[in-house]
Structure 1
Amino acid sequence: MKNHRLPALLLGLAVFLGGWPAAVDGQDNQPQLSLIGDFLVDTSRVAEFEAGLKDLLGHLEKHGFPFSLGTSNTDDGHYYMVYSMKSYADVDSWHKAWAELGQKIGPENLRALDRRILAAVIERVYQFWVYRPDISFLPEKERLKPEEIRYYTWDFVWLVPGREEEFEAVNKEWIALSKAKKARDPFLTCVGDLGARMPVYLWIEYGKSAADYAAAEEKFWKSMGEEGAALSKKTRALIQRMDSKTGQFRPDLSYAPKNK
């Protein structure tokens, strides 16, 4: 729900970031938990990192690793790896699954592969995020088909502390206004949890391309009129800072168990 009228300082640095399909698979109106690994990769060693990751994915496929892994990448070297979780209790099962994989391929072999991948990594951080369909706009008929989506935008929004309830109420106002104006492009909302600098929310949007997204945004804001401008001002009053990113989902660096 990016407003091009927001001050440049508030928008922050625009960098490429892939979509987060693992965090939004399914629209059953239930919050969905994901564990996100943020790997900052040395840009001179991207090929090395991706080759190692593909070898790891081969082992996940061969040995039936039980957790899905969706990967996105940014133009500033970040790779976001999304593991879908049913609950926080799944973390123990996740650790156990890695230990079992090590036994299947050999503990030293897994450690060697891990060292090979991490040799190209500058830093890594794990965070929990929760997809919140109750504060997301999900039109009955989207403008784009899933196979047409090639471009994503992620707006990380840090709030003034203590304003979370107001922000979620404003999100619902955006949903109502979007429905009233018959908008056909969704915005998906996630909430940062353990490991994240809170309070932080995330808006996810997408398009066919950067040009397609920009055209859709221009049409959206034009249709919102004075109501949208007033609601945008109300929203900005709750925001401490934003970091806007764009990019792509990487199906070639992702994995889904066959039984899922």
Structure 2
Amino acid sequence: MQKLILPAFAAATLALASCGGGAPKEEKKDSIAIGSENKTATAPQANVLTTEETAAGWKLLFNGSNLDGWRIYQNKPSNTWGVVDGTLHCTGSTTDKSDMRGDLLSNDEYENFELETDWKLAPQGNSGILYLVTEEFKAPYMSGPEYQLIDDENFPEKLEDWQKSGANYAMNPPSKLAAKPIGEWNHTRIVVNKGHVEHWLNGEKVVDTQMWTPEWEKAKKTGKWKDYKGYGSAKKGHICVQDHGSEIWFRNMKIKSL
């Protein structure tokens, strides 16, 4: 199959990589087959909105073919994000901690919205979906709250409750563990509406919280974010998917403004 090379920007080339982490080993690392999700005859097509969704105001964040609408945070060079078999894919490595790793940022900003996506992780993986991200700091997590994505069962370090899948990272632990076994697809829904935040995982609401209240301010000032004054302060910002050195796949990523 022919490799799809993405156009460079800000001196960066977003390279293509393999689909693994629970996928069959025979898939070639350098190949791309857009839309070849091995669907059954009745399975819905990935990365396509229904007529009803379009009428309701949904828009695709990822089109399944290329990285249109995305760029690396602060336009830094990166070679870890690409498109593989209709999925948005980040390469994984236990040794590559170079400056060529980078978080992927939506071009557009969102204030009040509902976001949905499917995702799956490689074993021992760690990633996240951040929102209300601004680019005034060194890293996205310094401004944007994070919906945590992690291998709850096999991560090589001890996890606090606020680090587990579905958590509002370092602020609100998930009310239950709802992630599917590693290698299977999960479905995430994030709702942000005038500071009211909901995290859903596989149909379960796992976080329900309100930003910018006295309780929220106390949790920020006494926890991990006490030295990050910009954390959670923006009322509008970018969507960001995290490159944490782990292999991860996304599909069916869509968003609707509220």
TM-score band by shorter chain is under 0.3
Q: TM-score when scaled to structure 2?
A: 0.24
Q: TM-score when scaled to structure 1?
A: 0.23
The structure having more radius of gyration, on CA atoms, is 1
